Amino acid sequence: MQFAKIQDGYLVRCDIGDEVVATLTKFAYEKDIGSGTVNGIGALKNPILGYFDLPKKEYFKKEFEGNFELLNLAGNFAKINSDIILHCHATISDVDFNVIGGHLFSGEIAVTGEFYIYPGDIKIRRGPDQETGLNLIKL
């Protein structure tokens, strides 16, 4: 992973083999980014995406084997207690240009990952929501 400081945040490049969620979360810890947004593009290998089933209050996860274009990653950073959490969604496409999307649980960089991280100027916390069972942003 490499990064450059830019006017309003950071440009981060993840390298082949880097696991996206872990790498970006580690970067957030290193730079003390407890809130903010991230977006990016690149290519992923064997991503695991999820869909939240509201009636069951659980994620359905699926691993997609192979290499995929990362058309978009969009997410945010917040804290649960002292832990920095990256909540992100990804849109990917396969060799036949089929587009798939969902909550990104993990994915290894296949070629490169290019991400802009914009730290927030307020502290954002997540906590349990009784209705959904998820840790939602507390405003």
SS3 labels along the chain: CEEEEECCEEEEEECCCCEHHHHHHHHHHHCCCCCEEEEEEEEEEEEEEEEEECCCCEEEEEECCCEEEEEEEEEEEEEECCEEEEEEEEEEECCCCCEEEEEEEEEEEEEEEEEEEEECCCCCEEEECCCCCCEEEEC
| 8 A C-beta contact, residue 58 and residue 50 | no
Mean pLDDT of all residues in 9-34: 97
Amino acid 139: pLDDT: 84
Amino acid 123: pLDDT: 86
Amino acid 60: pLDDT: 97
Mean pLDDT of all residues in 48-70: 97
The C-alpha atoms of residue 95 and residue 43 are separated, in whole angstroms, by: 12
Q: Which residues pair with 63 in a beta bridge?
A: 48
| 8 A C-beta contact, residue 28 and residue 37 | no
**What mean pLDDT value characterizes the chain?**
96
Mean pLDDT of all residues in 19-31: 98
Amino acid 127: pLDDT: 93
pTM: 0.94
Architecture of domain 2-138: 2-Layer Sandwich (3.30)
Domain ranges of the chain: 2-138
